[in-house]
Chain A
Amino acid sequence: DSGVTQTPKHLITATGQRVTLRCSPRSGDLSVYWYQQSLDQGLQFLIQYYNGEERAKGNILERFSAQQFPDLHSELNLSSLELGDSALYFCASSVDRGGGQRDEQFFGPGTRLTVL
């Protein structure tokens, strides 16, 4: 158990719908990252939040958005869903010490999204 929790574990929805994925980081971790894993794109970084503020954006679609709340949990919102959005969505967290430190990311179990 990595200490990172994600809900729900599975999500099945229809095209055009909107869903929210939730993540709680490990205790003490300030950074939260969202990744998407799909068969055609592999593991892709979506977005990072650090202590409530957006720090970096990756290959995140405009239909997707995220936020990190004062208690450090994070939500990833996916709207106007398309078939191609079906994927495993991971949340990861790290302390983010700064500098050249090890700072490994610990991953949650993922949310498997299926868009029908």
Chain B
Amino acid sequence: AQKITQTQPGMFVQEKEAVTLDCTYDTSDPSYGLFWYKQPSSGEMIFLIYQGSYDQQNATEGRYSLNFQKARKSANLVISASQLGDSAMYFCAMRESRYGGATNKLIFGTGTLLAVQP
């Protein structure tokens, strides 16, 4: 069965520094998608970044980048130049494979609570 593991329940980072949030996944399907979402204390889920299993390059979106290591089955989120507004819960998610016409549903990890300190 497909699974997402986030081993860091919480992390602290100083403002303006970079931080890496870990995510490992387990799947036997060759085709899959990996997503990161941010959930501030207000509760909404905000899409941050996507990495496809066949993408040759690591994804980047502004201050967010994804360190994708396929052989290790890891998709760590890197946030550069942390800001106070980055304090939130961060979820890693995997889209089930489309192989065989599967659904597009997401499987989420347990999340990492990031606190940015001034």
Contact = CB atoms under 8 A, between A and B. Distances in A.
Q: Is the interface of A mostly helix, strand, loop or mixed?
A: strand
A88 to B, nearest CB: 6
Nearest to A102: B50
Contact-residue bracket for chain B: 20 to 34
B47 A48 contact: no
A110 B43 contact: yes
A51 interface: no
A104 B44 contact: no
Interface in A75-116: 88, 90, 92, 94, 96, 98-100, 102-110, 112
A24 interface: no
Contacts of B98: 98-100
Contacts of B104: 31, 33, 48, 94, 96, 103, 105
Contact of B35 (A48, A98, A104, A112): A104
A100 B52 contact: yes
Nearest to A58: B105
A100 B105 contact: no
Residue of B98, B104, B110 contacting most chain A CB atoms (<10 Å): B104
Contacts of B25: none
Contact of A105 (B43, B44, B47): B47
